[in-house]
């Protein structure tokens, strides 16, 4: 049962959560009861909590529908340039609260649900996360959709409706165990199937050249069924669309292959076609060259391009007859953004449609394709680059292989003309990598076939230019740009941290929610006693709330007055959770050595998923849980140090832990994290950052002043110098007694007494083949952590730094990022005041 709000709480909620007018509340109640009755076919006697959630979801969705239809109608009538964001991942999380926030309905719903004797927060917890992403890349796509709608851009997100998203992580005996994420089990109230727009996608077959042109024949067909999800802008009446494709077998699937009597087998075999959209590949920053994955990549691209061209050809609302016949204006009306190389096949597929189907001549088609497509690079790790075997293409997409060869030939001819005799340059720049197994380098295809290529933080874009695509940059320097990532302040402040949002609104108004640079107005108030008190109080309330959540969910008791030291992201060697572990063990040893000394109490929280096939990442999780087992049960340590592994880290858990964090760990080896976005979320929510000069940390330090972050460790130049010299982990092991002690304990089974050899391979990696130089940064890291402790002992100075960080986080709004994409890449002059962007 919800607690009634005090007058003070009501007053605090009023401004940003929307006014709860009596009429609105009555309307919500009426709608809720109607959906319970007519949609869910239940009454209050038999309805479950999930029924109540679904009734509320349908009630809120009703408020979207009119705006959704009107927005799309407006796009048809005004025919603006349309932005197509193609991504294999959209990590959306939950939708209910986000929709209420963006529609200004939160208070009305809160009051109505309370009057019905229910608790809004409890209902929100019932919704499954839409976990259609692995981490940063997928969550970035979701933030971008929110910003594009808020800026009034005519934008569409296109991806796959995976039946099973990122696995649910269970920890069993300290090890990660994966469970299927059956997120659609109870239905999804936010999506609308659109069978009338179902489209065919072709695979396999053969290519036939004739005087009339090229034909791709004898293909297998899979149908792509679209499911549309509304994407509301923040209080601006714009509702855009995310369209996700689901694979369906055609009704005659396999039936012609079977003899009489094979009918049952033919129907059962429909699963083979429909497996395409069954499951998200759970790899982050790693390429696994599986045929099913290549099918997924072509499936989304082929369906989406048909849709784009249909929409381009018909400009008036509701008309499906083609009116445009010339593709001359295509790049003026269509922008396609490729979120990493996963949708790279859009380039040869657009060429195939233009040349084979629409009979545009090659050079014109290539010009159109390049002007239309743009590519965002997300990683510099070589193991993450997509390199598909030519043999797989030959079988699955024979026409696309032809087209890629033709693109490459023209490209290499151009390079050879500019650099005569430089055969090594030709080899380096080819889309086709020769060798035992010929491969197609998808990144090279993207760079050649796009008019713009961008990295996702300044330092990353520099590495892209100077190293990853150096040859291509020398060829076409004007192509390369930077677009530093951002996060949506609606979900990552207003929704997840209403207390902090309200504290800010009281000082500077609510304009910052759509123009985050306005947070700068807090700078003159850094020393304001009342603000310092309020910010510290909100943080403490968030910590108490999260502590209660931990106890309820996992039965773990933590001390809410300890420092909440948080390290949440995918588990990967380059993100260096092992460095954090070494610090924890070092702290433990210091407490054990001198228990009488005054220590700043810490609760270290580490969370994240490991790819199921990534042995080392799974070992790292086991190490964290094992250290926790020893540290947390040591009576001498007491509550001065606790180590918690946050199970099943996902968007909805991030929304709880980030507002409660004091310290944010962003400690990747310099030059490995393209940007990071978790770093920005922590900064905006009043945590201080301990981090290396990597990714967007560099720009965070620039915005807030490096003295307001805890920066340590090797810079990119130092890492390069160490590589030239040769990194020798043993030097550090021999020189640093605390490091040696920690490593020996891990190696000797101190933290795994039942399996003394459990972590031998981890230590062996750290000592003999650690690509990410954990030991090289250990000393600086531990010293930096001591500075963290020192500042934490002075709560007022700590909070002043927090306020300074919040005030300087404005750059990291995805609204700013998208405004830059629109202006510099898509050729759009967004004017959100008009409610629709005008594109030049």
From 642, 681, 773, 804, the catalytic residue: 681
Question: What's the confidence (pLDDT) of residue 805?
Answer: 98
Concatenate the DSSP letters of all residues of 93-115 into one string.
Answer: E--HHHHHHHHT-HHHHHHHHHH
Q: Would you say 367 and 405 are in contact if contact means Cβ atoms under 8 Å apart? A: no
Secondary-structure breakdown of the chain: helix, strand, coil percentages, each rounded to the nearest 5: 55, 15, 30
Model's pTM, two decimal places?
Answer: 0.96
pLDDT band for position 832 (cuts 50, 70, 90): very low
Please list, in sequence order, all residues whose beta carbon lies within 8 angstroms of the beta carbon of residue 273, skipping any fewer than 6 positions away. 220, 222, 247, 248, 249, 250, 253
pLDDT band for position 320 (cuts 50, 70, 90): low
Q: What is the mean pLDDT of the chain?
A: 95
Average pLDDT over residues 80-84: 97
**3-class DSSP string for 732-758:** HHHHCHHHHHHHHHHHHCCCCCCCCCC
Is residue 378 part of the annotated active site? The answer reads yes
- At residue 61, does pLDDT exceed 60? yes
Question: What's the confidence (pLDDT) of residue 205?
Answer: 98
The dihedral through the CA atoms of 25, 30, 34, 36 has a sign that is: positive
- At residue 835, does pLDDT exceed 50? no
User: Which CATH number among 3.40.50.740, 3.40.50.2000, 3.40.50.720, 6.10.140.120 corresponds to the domain 558-795?
Assistant: 3.40.50.2000
Q: How far is CA 689 from the centre of its chain?
A: 20
Is residue 278 part of the annotated active site? The answer reads no
- At residue 323, does pLDDT exceed 70? no
Please list, in sequence order, all residues whose beta carbon lies within 8 angstroms of the beta carbon of residue 831, skipping any fewer than 6 positions away. 152, 837, 838
Q: Would you say 602 and 587 are in contact if contact means Cβ atoms under 8 Å apart? A: yes
Is residue 569 part of the annotated active site? The answer reads yes
Structure tokens at 353: 């449609």
Please list, in sequence order, all residues whose beta carbon lies within 8 angstroms of the beta carbon of residue 49, skipping any fewer than 6 positions away. 122, 123, 126
Rounded Cα distance, 477 and 813, in Å: 27
From 575, 576, 619, 642, the catalytic residue: 575
From 451, 569, 622, 640, the catalytic residue: 569
Question: What's the confidence (pLDDT) of residue 256?
Answer: 78
- Which of 807, 710, 795 is CA-nearest to residue 532? 795
- At residue 259, does pLDDT exceed 70? no
From 12, 451, 465, 570, the catalytic residue: 570
- Which of 227, 195, 245, 232 is CA-nearest to residue 65? 232
Residue entry with tokens 């003899």: 259
- At residue 471, does pLDDT exceed 50? yes
Average pLDDT over residues 775-784: 98
Is residue 681 part of the annotated active site? The answer reads yes
The dihedral through the CA atoms of 648, 650, 655, 660 has a sign that is: positive
Is residue 470 part of the annotated active site? The answer reads no
Question: What's the confidence (pLDDT) of residue 258?
Answer: 59
From 677, 689, 817, 819, the catalytic residue: 677
Residue entry with tokens 């990493």: 340
The overall longest dimension of the chain from CA atoms, in Å, is: 89
Q: Would you say 379 and 694 are in contact if contact means Cβ atoms under 8 Å apart? A: no
Please count the helices (runs of H) and the strands (runs of E) in the chain: 34, 27
> How far, in Å, are 198, 246, 315, 397 from residue 194 at the CA level?
7, 11, 20, 27
From 311, 378, 451, 811, the catalytic residue: 378
- Residues of the chain within CATH 3.40.50.2000 domain(s) are 79-93+129-484, 558-795
Rounded Cα distance, 71 and 307, in Å: 18
Tens of pLDDT, residue by residue over 345-369, are 999 999 999 999 999 999 999 999 9
Question: What's the confidence (pLDDT) of residue 484?
Answer: 98
Question: What's the confidence (pLDDT) of residue 831?
Answer: 54
The dihedral through the CA atoms of 515, 808, 337, 299 has a sign that is: negative
Average pLDDT over residues 392-409: 98
User: Which CATH number among 3.65.10.10, 3.40.50.1100, 1.20.200.10, 3.40.50.2000 corresponds to the domain 79-93+129-484?
Assistant: 3.40.50.2000
Q: Would you say 448 and 419 are in contact if contact means Cβ atoms under 8 Å apart? A: no
Rounded Cα distance, 87 and 102, in Å: 23
Question: What's the confidence (pLDDT) of residue 5?
Answer: 46
Is residue 59 part of the annotated active site? The answer reads no
């Amino acid at each position: 049962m919800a607690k009634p709000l005090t007058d003070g709480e009501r007053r605090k909620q009023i401004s940003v959560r929307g006014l709860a007018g009596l009429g609105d509340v009555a309307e919500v109640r009426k709608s809720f009861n109607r959906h319970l009755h007519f949609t869910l076919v239940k009454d209050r006697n038999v309805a479950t909590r999930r029924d109540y959630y679904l009734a509320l979801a349908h009630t809120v969705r009703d408020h979207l529908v009119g705006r959704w239809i009107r927005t799309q109608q407006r796009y048809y009538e005004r025919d603006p340039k349309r932005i197509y964001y193609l991504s294999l991942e959209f990590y959306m999380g939950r939708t209910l609260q986000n929709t209420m926030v963006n529609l200004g309905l939160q208070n009305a719903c809160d009051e109505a649900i309370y009057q019905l004797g229910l608790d809004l927060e409890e209902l929100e917890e019932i919704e499954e996360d839409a976990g259609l992403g692995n981490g940063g890349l997928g969550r970035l796509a979701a933030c971008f959709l929110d910003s594009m709608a808020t800026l009034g851009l005519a934008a569409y997100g296109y991806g796959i409706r995976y039946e099973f998203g990122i696995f649910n992580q269970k920890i069993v005996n300290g090890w990660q165990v994966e469970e299927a994420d059956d997120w659609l089990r109870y239905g999804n109230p936010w999506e609308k199937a659109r069978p009338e727009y179902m489209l065919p996608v072709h695979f396999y077959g053969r290519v036939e050249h004739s005087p009339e042109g090229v034909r791709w024949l004898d293909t297998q067909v899979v149908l792509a069924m679209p499911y549309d999800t509304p994407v509301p802008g923040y209080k601006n009446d714009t509702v855009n669309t995310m369209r996700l494709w689901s694979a369906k077998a055609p009704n005659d699937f396999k039936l012609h292959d079977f003899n009489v009597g094979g009918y049952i087998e033919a129907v059962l075999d429909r699963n083979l076609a429909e497996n395409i959209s069954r499951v998200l590949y759970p790899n982050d920053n790693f390429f696994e060259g599986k045929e099913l994955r290549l099918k997924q990549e072509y499936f989304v691209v082929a369906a989406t391009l048909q849709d784009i061209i249909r929409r381009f050809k018909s400009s008036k609302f509701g008309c499906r007859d083609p009116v445009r016949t010339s593709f001359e204006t295509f790049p003026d009306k269509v922008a396609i953004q490729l979120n990493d190389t996963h949708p790279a096949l859009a380039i040869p597929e657009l060429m195939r449609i233009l040349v084979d189907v629409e009979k545009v001549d090659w050079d014109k088609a290539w010009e159109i394709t390049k002007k239309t497509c743009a590519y965002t690079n997300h990683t510099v790790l070589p193991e993450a680059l997509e390199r598909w075997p030519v043999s797989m293409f030959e079988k699955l997409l024979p026409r696309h292989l032809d087209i890629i060869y033709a693109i490459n030939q023209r490209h290499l001819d151009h390079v050879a003309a500019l650099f005569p005799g430089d055969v090594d340059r030709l080899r380096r720049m080819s889309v086709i990598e020769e060798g035992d197994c010929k491969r197609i380098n998808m990144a090279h295809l993207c760079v050649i076939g796009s008019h713009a290529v961008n990295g996702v933080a300044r330092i990353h874009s520099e590495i892209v230019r100077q190293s990853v695509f150096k040859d291509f940059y020398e060829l076409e320097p004007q192509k390369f740009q930077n677009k530093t990532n951002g996060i949506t302040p609606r979900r990552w402040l207003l929704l997840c941290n209403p207390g902090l949002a309200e504290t800010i609104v009281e000082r500077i108004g609510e304009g910052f929610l759509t123009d985050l640079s306005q947070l700068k107005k807090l700078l003159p108030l850094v020393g304001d006693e009342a603000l310092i008190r309020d910010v510290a109080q909100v943080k403490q309330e968030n910590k108490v709330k999260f502590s209660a959540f931990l106890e309820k969910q996992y039965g773990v008791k933590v001390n809410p007055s300890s420092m909440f030291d948080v390290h949440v992201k995918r588990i990967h060697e380059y993100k260096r959770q092992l460095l954090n572990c070494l610090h924890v063990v070092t702290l433990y040893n210091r407490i054990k050595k001198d228990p009488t000394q005054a220590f700043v109490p810490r609760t270290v929280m580490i969370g994240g998923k490991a790819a199921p096939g990534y042995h080392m990442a799974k070992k790292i999780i086991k190490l964290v849980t094992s250290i926790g087992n020893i540290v947390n049960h040591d009576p001498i340590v007491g509550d001065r140090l606790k180590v918690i592994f946050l199970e099943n880290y996902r968007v909805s858990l991030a929304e709880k832990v980030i507002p409660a964090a004091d310290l944010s760990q962003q400690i990747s080896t310099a030059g490995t994290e393209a940007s990071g976005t978790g770093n920005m979320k922590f900064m905006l929510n009043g945590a201080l950052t301990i981090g290396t000069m990597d990714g967007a940390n560099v720009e965070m330090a620039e915005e807030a002043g490096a003295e307001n972050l805890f920066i340590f460790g090797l810079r990119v130049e130092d890492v390069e110098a160490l590589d030239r010299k040769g990194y020798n982990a043993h030097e550090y092991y021999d020189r640093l007694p605390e490091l040696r002690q920690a490593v020996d304990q891990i190696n000797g089974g101190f933290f795994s007494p039942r399996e003394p050899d459990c972590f031998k391979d981890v230590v062996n990696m750290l000592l003999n083949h650690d690509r990410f130089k954990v030991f090289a940064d250990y000393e600086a890291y531990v010293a930096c952590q001591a500075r963290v402790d020192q500042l934490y002992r002075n709560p007022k100075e700590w909070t002043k730094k927090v306020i300074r960080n919040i005030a300087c986080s404005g750059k990291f709004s995805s609204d700013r990022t998208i405004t830059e994409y629109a202006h510099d890449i898509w050729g759009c002059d967004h004017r959100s005041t008009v409610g629709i962007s005008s594109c030049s």
